[in-house]
Amino acid sequence: MSELFPEALQPYQGLIVGAATALAIFVVGWIVSKWVHALCLRAARRGQMDEALARFLSSMAQYAVLAFAVIAALSRVGVQTTSLVALLGAAGLAVGLALQGNLGNFASGVMLLLFRPFTLEDRVRIAGEDGQVKEIGLFATSLRTPRNEEIIVPNGSVTSNVIVNYTSQGKLRGGIAVGISYGSDVNRAMEVMIDACKSVGSVLDDPPPSVNFSGFGASSLDFEVRPWATADDYIGMLHDVRIELYGALAAAGIEIPFDQIVVHRAPA
């Protein structure tokens, strides 16, 4: 090997060989990391994994290969990698403590992508907010409300609260409170309300709409009308059913009373 170096460079022969070897290790590691990224991404997509999670896991695999390559390359030029690894670990711990809130959101984002309690376009209630899911990121989830507002919810708040998914079951049951006057024919009123529900096109036939006699109110006999609809039609369905109920009860001569207060006056 020494004959390959001029006499002036022979004292630095070990350093040059080490540097060249380190450079070769780094280049090979860089190429291998690209292959690993592509292979992991292809495998994740073949397994129908969420795209954001697939890209994240593929990038983590790539960075892990690069980290090993860098450590191996540095060891070839005489760097004490044990101390370097300890230093990087301490730095990572310090950064983790400083960013523990963001790291919590990141971990929650990974959980959401893995367990998929909701997907894009689902109608949900998360962290007390209602809306349609527009983006599931690694740090936050974006919702679009019925008023066309965009709400960004940190993923830590999503996983630490109750998640209500209105879309996952495919259909929703509404609950519309209706009161009729005392003395009304209860059975007739229930038939009228059922027919009113069935006249709305967005109300599902299966399950069929139903009416529950819920109680004796202070001013009325109270019912809950329960029509079913798909998640997409749900809000519009409630509006249409209320209109039909009001018109059908009025046409049948069944009164929807105002609240009444009975005042008894003591005799003089």
In a domain, 261, yes or no: no
pLDDT at 98: 47
Amino acid 253: pLDDT? 94
User: For residues 234 and 211, what is the distance between their CA atoms, to the nearest angstrom?
Assistant: 18
Q: Are residues 142 and 181 in the same domain?
A: no
**Within this chain, do residues 86 and 19 fall inside the same structural domain, yes or no?**
yes
- Minimum mean pLDDT range among 38-52, 145-159, 214-228, 233-247: 38-52
pLDDT (tens digit per residue) in 39-71: 888 887 787 776 666 776 787 788 888 888 877
Pair 159, 236 in one domain = no
- Say if residue 92 is in the same domain as residue 142: no
Please report whether residue 138 resides in a domain. yes
3-state SS, one letter per residue, for the chain: CHHHCCHHHHHHHHHHHHHHHHHHHHHHHHHHHHHHHHHHHHHHHHCCCCHHHHHHHHHHHHHHHHHHHHHHHHHHCCCCHHHHHHHHHHHHHHHHHHCHHHHHHHHHHHHHHHHCCCCCCCEEEECCEEEEEEEECCCEEEEECCCCCEEEEEHHHHHCCCEEECCCCCEEECCEEEEECCCCCHHHHHHHHHHHHHCCCCCCCCCCCEEEEEEECCCCEEEEEECEEECCCHHHHHHHHHHHHHHHHHHCCCCCCCCCCCCCCCCC
Average pLDDT, the chain: 82
Same domain, 134 and 207: no
- Is residue 112 a part of any domain in this protein? no
Q: Are residues 122 and 147 in the same domain?
A: yes
Residue 3, domain member (yes or no): no
CATH number of the domain residue 180 falls in? 3.30.70.100
At 70, which CATH number?
A: 1.10.287.1260
Residue 197 — pLDDT band, cuts 50, 70, 90? very high
pTM: 0.59
Q: Residue 154 falls within a domain, yes or no? A: yes
Q: Are 155 and 83 contained in the same domain?
A: no
What residues make up the domain containing 128?
Answer: 118-165
**Using omega within 30 degrees of 0 as the cis cutoff, is the peptide bond preceding 207 cis?**
yes
Assess whether 92 and 53 both reside in one domain: yes
Contact 253, 192 (CB under 8 A): no
243, pLDDT greater than 90? yes
CATH number where 124 lies? 2.30.30.60
Q: Into how many domains does the chain fold?
A: 3
Specify whether 153 is located in the same domain as 195.
Answer: no
pLDDT of residue 47: 75
Residue 86 domain-assigned (yes or no): yes
Q: What is the pLDDT of residues 172-184, one digit of tens each?
A: 999 999 999 999 9
Residue that is last in its domain, among 69, 98, 127: 98
Identify the band that residue 5 occupies on the pLDDT scale cut at 50, 70 and 90.
very low
Do 68 and 123 belong together in one domain? no
Q: Is residue 4 part of a domain?
A: no
According to the model, what pLDDT value does residue 211 have? Answer: 96
What is the pLDDT, as a whole number, of residue 99?
Answer: 46
Task: Name, in order, each residue with C-beta under 8 angstroms of 54's C-beta and a sequence gap of 6 or more.
Answer: 40, 41, 44, 45
Same-domain check for residues 131 and 182 = no
The two tokens of residue 92 are 């990572």
> Looking at the domain assignment, is residue 265 inside a domain?
no
Nearest to 16, CA basis, from 82, 77, 85, 104: 77
